[in-house]
Structure 1
Amino acid sequence: MREAPVTPNGDRIRWVELPGAEPVRLYLHGLGSSTPAYFAAAAAHPLLAGRRSLLLDLLGFGLSDRPTDFGYTLEEHADAVAAAVAAAGPDRVEVVGHSMGGAVAIVLARRHPHLVERLLLVDANLDRIDPDRRRPGSSGIAAYDEEEFLAGGLGEVAERVGPFWWSTMRLAGPEALHRSARHLARATEPTMRELLLGLDLPRTFLHPAADGGPAGADALRAAGVRVVAVPDCGHNIMIDNPDGFAAAAAEALEQG
């Protein structure tokens, strides 16, 4: 495990580092998750192994610190990740981002274009989400204000997300979880989709084949984004179908 201070107060992001060749791969988890838990097997898969890999937990989640005075916007997450990558040393990274981690990856590429060599987005958030307390994830969490979320909403969310997701979500700082969800649901301005369309670097979007493709897939393709369906999986593609994910990811990361 490695760590680096990423805020003026010295709050630390931590990551598990796998040795290997460059270019370096940076893996980013989704809301309420932890990158080592969700991506370790994928990073070690024979089709993806051999690269120096940073399995990084966003500030507020997993192994990283959970400051209560941090805003947890997508922009702030991206800047904190950039500071951690600078401390880790690589000049450029290939970024693999799942769900919210994909949204952070897009913002990272926009705000720190010198740092990102290519993007592999794994069923990433691209658009605004309507808050709905009945749903799990960012939509349900964003439907609470922070006071009521801390006073009991977190417990209600725990019952809805199920034991697998809760196993890592319970490690998140409550403020971090709520603020990240609210900002993810609100999206950036312009939206992550609009930012993605304007990026000038190799970009691939993986999605579960059962979903029939992401919204606006034709516009993504027209802008040069490769849209790739992965069979036999849900939202957690790398966990549900490790071999299918590794094959699609390896092909995407080899594209020019």
Structure 2
Amino acid sequence: MHSAAVTTEGDRIRWAELPGGDPARVYVHGLGATSPLYFAGTAVHPLLAGRRSLLIDLLGHGHSDRPTSFAYTLEDHADALAAALRAAKVTAAEVVAHSMGGAVAVVLAARHPELVSRLVLVDANLDPLTPERGALGSRGIAAYGEEEFLAGGWREVRDRAGEAWWATMRLTGLEALHRSAVHLVRGTTPTMRELLLDLPVPRTFLYPEPDGPFPGAADLEAAGVRVVPVPDCGHTIMLDNPEAFARATAEALA
């Protein structure tokens, strides 16, 4: 386990690191998750092993610190991640990022282009969403006010999340979980999708084939983004079908 201070108050991001060659590969989890759990199995897959790999936990999540004074905007997450990567002496990394982590990775590549050489987005958030009470995921969390969420709304989210997601969501600071969800559904200006269209690096977007055609795929492909359906999986592609995920990711990074 490695760590780096990423705020002026000294709050630390932590990551598990696998040794290997450069360029480094950086794995970034989604909302209420942790990269060592979500990516360890595929990071050591024969198709992906051998590269220096950082399985990094965003601030507020997993093994990283959970400051209550941090705003947890997508830009804040991206800047904190950038500080951790610079401390780790990482440049021109191959970034593999899931869900909210994909949104953070897009912002990272736009704000800190020297840190990112390739992007593999795994069913990432690209568009603003509408909060909805009772919905699963970020839309449901963002439907609460922060005081309401901290006072007990989080228990309703826990009960909807299910055992598997709660296993890692429980490691997330409550302020971090709520604020990250609020800013994720709010998105960025320009949107994450618009930022992705303009990035100059090789980009691949993986999505679950059972969900049907990915909205806006034609525009993404016209801008040079490879849009790849992955069979026999849901949103957590790397956990649901690790073999297909490893193949698709290795092809994207070849």
Q: TM-score, normalised by structure 1?
A: 0.99
**Partner of residue 103, structure 2:** 103
**Partner of residue 192, structure 1:** 192
Q: How far apart are the structure 1 equivalents of 2:90 and 2:213?
A: 34
**Partner of residue 245, structure 1:** 245
The AA in structure 2 aligned to 1:138 is S
**Partner of residue 217, structure 1:** 217
Q: How far apart are the structure 2 equivalents of 1:140 and 1:206?
A: 24
The AA in structure 2 aligned to 1:183 is H
User: For residues 114-125 of structure 1, what are the structure 2 equivalents within 5 Å?
Assistant: 114-125=114-125
Q: How far apart are the structure 1 equivalents of 2:213 and 2:248?
A: 15
Q: Deviation at 1:56?
A: 0.2
User: For residues 1-256 of structure 1, what are the structure 2 equivalents within 5 Å?
Assistant: 1-254=1-254
The AA in structure 2 aligned to 1:181 is A
1:114 match: secondary structure: helix
* Offset from partner CA, 1:43-86 (integer Å, 9 cap, x none): 01111011000000000000000000000000000000000000
1:31 match: secondary structure: coil
Q: How far apart are the structure 2 equivalents of 1:39 and 1:20?
A: 16
8 Å Cα contact 2:141/2:157 also seen in 1: yes
* Offset from partner CA, 1:90-117 (integer Å, 9 cap, x none): 2221100000000000000000011100
8 Å Cα contact 2:23/2:91 also seen in 1: no
Q: How far apart are the structure 2 equivalents of 1:132 and 1:90?
A: 39
* Offset from partner CA, 1:207-252 (integer Å, 9 cap, x none): 0011113210000000000000100000000000000000000000
Aligned CA-pair RMSD: 0.5
Q: How far apart are the structure 1 equivalents of 2:76 and 2:101?
A: 13
8 Å Cα contact 2:237/2:245 also seen in 1: yes
* Offset from partner CA, 1:110-141 (integer Å, 9 cap, x none): 00011100100000000011101111110000
Q: How far apart are the structure 1 equivalents of 2:153 and 2:43?
A: 34
The AA in structure 1 aligned to 2:96 is V
Q: How far apart are the structure 1 equivalents of 2:201 and 2:12?
A: 29
The AA in structure 1 aligned to 2:216 is G
Q: How far apart are the structure 2 equivalents of 1:214 and 1:64?
A: 33
The AA in structure 2 aligned to 1:94 is E
Segments of structure 1 that go 5 or more residues without pairing to the other structure are none
Q: How far apart are the structure 1 equivalents of 2:44 and 2:26?
A: 13
* Offset from partner CA, 1:8-52 (integer Å, 9 cap, x none): 000000000000011100000000000001000010111101100
Q: Deviation at 1:169?
A: 0.1
The AA in structure 2 aligned to 1:153 is G
2:113 match: secondary structure: coil
> Identity over the aligned pairs, expressed in percent?
68
Q: Deviation at 1:171?
A: 0.4
Moved over 3 A (4+): none
2:31 match: secondary structure: coil
Q: How far apart are the structure 2 equivalents of 1:216 and 1:91?
A: 30
2:196 match: secondary structure: helix
1:78 match: secondary structure: helix
